[in-house]
Structure 1
Amino acid sequence: MTKEEIRVLFKEKRKQLKGEEIDRLSIQIRQRVRDFLNERKQLRHIHLFLPILKLKEVDVFPLIDELLQEGHELYTSILDAKSGVLETVCLTDIQDLDHDSWGIPIPRQKQVVSTDPIQLVLIPLLACDKNGNRIGYGKGYYDGFLNTLASDVLKVGLNFFQPIDQIEAEWHDIPLDVCITPSEVFLF
């Protein structure tokens, strides 16, 4: 299948998920993330996505609350519409969010910071394969962002679905190091 065919298929698969099922699967994914982080206590600087709940993305809001309470340094990205670049900002309070023109939650207080401290990035995705190649919404924003990070930053995808056999990678695609699903953690 082409990337676009895979994208369409997994958008439809996600669309079929009911609210209760998304809640249950998100809880399972969050627990696997917690277990993953508990085994790697040195990871204190974490970049997270703020889920677009209307697109049925993995709900990481409770995880963000927990990590903030534990003293982790959290970051997220905001799209600079003029440049098409994701800017990294501190994430200190998920109660103080607004929504951009695409419905993406963003912090009201936008303190742009360096990506240098980031040790791990949690990435939303539609699908990934058994080699860590991933498919998002097709705009390339995350590839551009990931390309700016140090090579040792862990790239962790969160997905409701198991990896598929193969996604055709292009030269600019940045693969995942890990994919966390409700039932398993895949290391690539």
Structure 2
Amino acid sequence: MLNAMLKAEFRKKYMQKRKALSDDEAFLLSEKIFGNFIDYFKPFPNQKIHIFVPIRKFREINTELFIDYFLSRNIRVFVPKVIKTGLISVEIFTGTRYEINTWGIAEPDSDQDSGITDFDFVITPLLYCDRKGNRVGYGKGFYDGFFESISADTKKIGVNYFNPDENIDDIRDHDIPLDYLVTPDAVLSFSGLSE
């Protein structure tokens, strides 16, 4: 039986595990995650993909690899921007300008919400994801609210350096699980369906 921990414990543990990675290790692992995503999901032109811009100080997955690939292949790219207590989705292009917000996150300087809710994929930041698709983020709840606002058909995909090996003990009713997790080693599906 797997061990179980609280979200706060996972948050602390996996922030430390990330900090222990060198810049080179984090980049190589990000490349493997990117390769696994492309091989499995095979994105194509005109699909709509919502993806986060990495927070470098938290050593997040280097999603710039994804963004550059998508933009070079005419895949529509949307990134989150925090407005008050929620996220909006801003469409970005090759020449999009960014500003750094109060959390140190690069966001588009535009406040224009795309209004898109039928994304093909939402590539989601996290610190940990268990084998049921439950995720631990930074505790602000932005993505739970965002998931409620988008199409039920959108594939919610987490990306992480680490494989799930413990369960999250304090899942709440409003927590929305992911559909997939992409790690350097594998793509895990939580739907129970083989694809």
Same fold (TM over 0.5): yes
- 2:118–2:151 contact (8 Å) kept in structure 1: no
* Paired position in structure 1 for 2:12: 8
How far 1:41 sits from its partner (Å)? 4.2
Q: Give secondary structure in 1 for the equivalent of 2:70.
A: helix
The TM-score normalised by the length of structure 1 is: 0.93
The TM-score normalised by the length of structure 2 is: 0.90
Segments of 4+ in structure 1 off by > 4 A?
Answer: 40-43
The whole-number CA distance in structure 2 between the counterparts of 1:51 and 1:110 is 19
- Give the one of 174, 179, 182 matched to 1:180: 182
- 1:127–1:164 contact (8 Å) kept in structure 2: no
- 1:148 equivalent in alignment to 2:149: yes
How far 1:3 sits from its partner (Å)? 1.2
The whole-number CA distance in structure 1 between the counterparts of 2:98 and 2:36 is 26
Cα deviation digits, residues 128-176 of structure 1 (max 9, x gap) = 1000001000110110111111111100000000012311321011101
* Paired position in structure 1 for 2:48: 45
Instruction: Give aligned pairs, total.
Output: 185
How far 1:182 sits from its partner (Å)? 0.6
Cα deviation digits, residues 97-147 of structure 1 (max 9, x gap) = 221111111112343111323121000100010000010001101101111
Identity score, percent: 35
The whole-number CA distance in structure 2 between the counterparts of 1:174 and 1:117 is 17
Query: Aligned in 2, Cα 1:7/1:94: closer, same or farther, shift over 3 Å?
Result: farther
Cα deviation digits, residues 14-45 of structure 1 (max 9, x gap) = 1111111001101111111111231x648811
* Paired position in structure 2 for 1:78: 81
* Paired position in structure 1 for 2:37: 33
- In structure 2, the gaps of 5 or more residues are 191-195
Amino acid at match of 1:12: Q
